[in-house]
Amino acid sequence: MNSDQGQPTEPARTAATSRNRLVDLLLGAAPLALAIALGVVPLGVLLLESVELGAYPDFGVVLAGYRAVGSSVYLPVLIRSLAVGIAVTVGCLLIAYPVTYWVANHCPPPLRVAALVTLTLPLWLNYVVLNYSWVWILARGGLLNTVLLETGVVAEPLELLFTELSLAIGFVYIYLPYVILTMYVSMERLDRRLIEAAHDLGAGRIRVFRDVILPETLAGAIAGTLIVYARIAGAFATPEILGGAGNQLIAQLISDAYLQILDYQLAAALSYVFLSVVLLGLAVGVTQRDVREELKQW
Q: Are residues 191 and 118 in the same domain?
A: yes
Q: The domain spanning residue 229 has which CATH number?
A: 1.10.3720.10
pLDDT band at 61 (very low <50, low <70, confident <90, very high): low
Residue 277 has a pLDDT of 87
Give the separation between CA 233 and CA 253, rounded to whole angstroms: 13
Give the separation between CA 137 and CA 94, rounded to whole angstroms: 24
Rg (CA), the chain: 26
Per-residue pLDDT of 23-43, as tens digits, reads 777 777 888 888 888 888 888
* Domain encompassing residue 19: 1-49
Task: Please enumerate in sequence order all residues whose Cβ is within 8 A of that of 80, keeping only pairs 6 or more positions apart, or say none.
Answer: 249
Q: Are 165 and 159 in contact (CB under 8 A)?
A: no
Q: Are residues 233 and 159 in the same domain?
A: yes
Taking residues 163-182, report their average pLDDT.
92
Residue 2 has a pLDDT of 47
pLDDT band at 298 (very low <50, low <70, confident <90, very high): low
- Could you give the number of structural domains in the chain? 2
Q: Are residues 178 and 91 in the same domain?
A: yes
Q: Is 59 inside a domain boundary? A: no
pLDDT above 70 covers a percentage of the chain that reads: 92
Residue 56 has a pLDDT of 64
